[in-house]
Amino acid sequence: METQQKTEIYSPGLEGVIACKTRICQIDGQAGKLYYAGYPIEDLVHHSTFEEVSFLLWQQRLPRQDELEQLDKMFKETRSLPAEVLQFLELMPHTSHPMDALRTVASLLACFDTNLEKSPEANLQRAIFLTARFPTIVANFHRLRQNQKPIQPHPDLGLAANFLYMLLGKEPTADQARVMDAALILHADHEMNASTFAALVTASTLSDIYSAVASGIGALKGPLHGGANEAVLKMLLEIADPANVESYVEQALVKKTKIMGFGHRIYKSYDPRARIFKEYARRLSGRTKFSRFFKINEKLEEVMQAKKGQHGIFPNVDLYSGIVYHQLGIPADLFTPIFAIARVAGWTAHILEYWRDNRLFRPNALYEGPPPRPYVPIEQRR
């Protein structure tokens, strides 16, 4: 009788491995298309709001008018932080990275959840509360580290506009609010990215939603994921002038240094989110002193397209998103927390979906160590 040999398949970074099924998000990397529950991202950015998109991710359908009004009401009623949490933020070292503050406070919020129910309905409510409170956490921490008093949420502003209001201390213009809202929509979900997978691994143990979201924040902090748009801005400051782009790219390619804002594991054509961010960056650049950043990026895109376009390396979402935030007056180290403000809707949507048919994540490892061997007493070792 022949013995069947088990075939081990090793995929570095789990590239190409299907980890779960989902109805939430679909990416066509070859065509450069992104869909939330079947709706093209372009349609959602131009016609929808972040509140509506959050509902779509959680329910996989667009809300009725009364449902959207109810969700908006819940967001507005729950976005203030408990007094004890605000006191904790005040005590945190103000030199902390905002992502560390966000991760810590997101975890702390679990201690103030007195609802012992673990039903899908209770967890959806927690998802709504977390999404409502993330902008408040980020805005309050930023003002505290600037020795400024936190601003209470505005009762009449939507999530995106209220975030800018609480962060910068004045109501944004309609155009600024719309750009911020579009940015949140563009970052709300992206299928099985590293932070979503990290959140699902934690959720698959049947841990709580706060722990799963904290795992997502930890993964998002890395410069190869959420921190990339902050790295793009640092790169632009280093390049300084469009005339320096060509030599910068040449040197980076020779040294095999990663050029931030280009290339994506999934997209083998232009990232659709990058196209949209580019237009917002173009629009804002004509009105601010930071227009040179846009010109540097355009030159970068031109040079990289000529050198790497044939290899499927195109601009990704990070190339222009940092410029947009910078032109809105947002500090660079808040770029990744803004990513989290948007992505918490996607994380929680995937967590809620995965829990409907949960299975503990437990992949194998391909062992490459020594074969079985006897233990050697310490006096006999050489």
Catalytic residues: 264, 318
Angstrom distance (rounded) from CA 11 to CA 40: 30
**What backbone torsions phi and psi does residue 193 show, to the nearest 5 degrees?**
-75, 175
Instruction: Give Dmax (Cα) for the chain.
Output: 78
By the 8 A CB rule, do 75 and 209 touch?
Answer: no
Strand order of the sheet with strand 25-28? 25-28, 33-36, 39-40
Angstrom distance (rounded) from CA 272 to CA 9: 32
By the 8 A CB rule, do 165 and 154 touch?
Answer: yes
Angstrom distance (rounded) from CA 105 to CA 127: 15
